[in-house]
Amino acid sequence: MMSWRWIDLVPARLPGALAVAVARDARTGAAAGWLVAWEGRARPTPTALRIDARAIDPNGDAALVSLVLAPAGVSLPFDDLAVQQARRAVLARSTPAAVNSTLLRDSSRFMGALTAIRDVAGGLDDDPFARVFPARRLLVGAGLLGTMPAPAGPTIERYGSDQPWPWDRFRAS
């Protein structure tokens, strides 16, 4: 079972997507583009990032999203202490988000995170990953984001170096 998908925020709908939803700035309502997910090994766009496969659901409802992305030309090792601490802070939450996944460029570089909630009182104001890279607050339409089980904890490590966190198991051997 493949544990990750690709995701990207792009200015226009693209063909071949697994799921897609329109994105708007949560504060101003201004169009922010299309959030698009793909399956497959090959990177579909130059800026697409790996996301936990459980985050994506073409039948998912609309959500309020914190999209944390590294500035252009910047990335961190996944094991950077700031990224470790953000993972711990996610696990320490009392109210888990509907979706929470790190975003990876490849098997070693952390490029951001996506957190989604449907209950606006659910605590999106404090996104631990927003202390690592800048966060955008988006309203994302239906058809892209599902609901993941909250990570059981306390594991902050990835289950194989190419897996986004919190994907929670090794491949069956």
Cα distances from 84 to residues 14, 60, 91, 155, 170, in angstroms, run 34, 29, 11, 11, 20
Find the binding residues for another protein in span 42-71 (CB under 8 A).
Answer: none
Closest CA to 65 of 78, 56, 53, 74: 56
Angle at 89 between CA 167 and CA 166, to 5 degrees: 0
Among 13, 27, 88, 131, binds another protein (CB under 8 A): 88
Stretch that binds another protein, among 23-31, 38-46, 87-95, 124-132 (CB under 8 A): 87-95
Least Å distance, CB 150 to another protein, is: 7
Q: How many residues bind another protein (CB under 8 A)?
A: 19
Find the binding residues for another protein in span 132-151 (CB under 8 A).
Answer: 149-150
CB contact at 8 A, 14 and 48 = no
Site residues, another protein (CB under 8 A): 88, 91-92, 94-96, 149-150, 152-157, 159, 168-170, 173
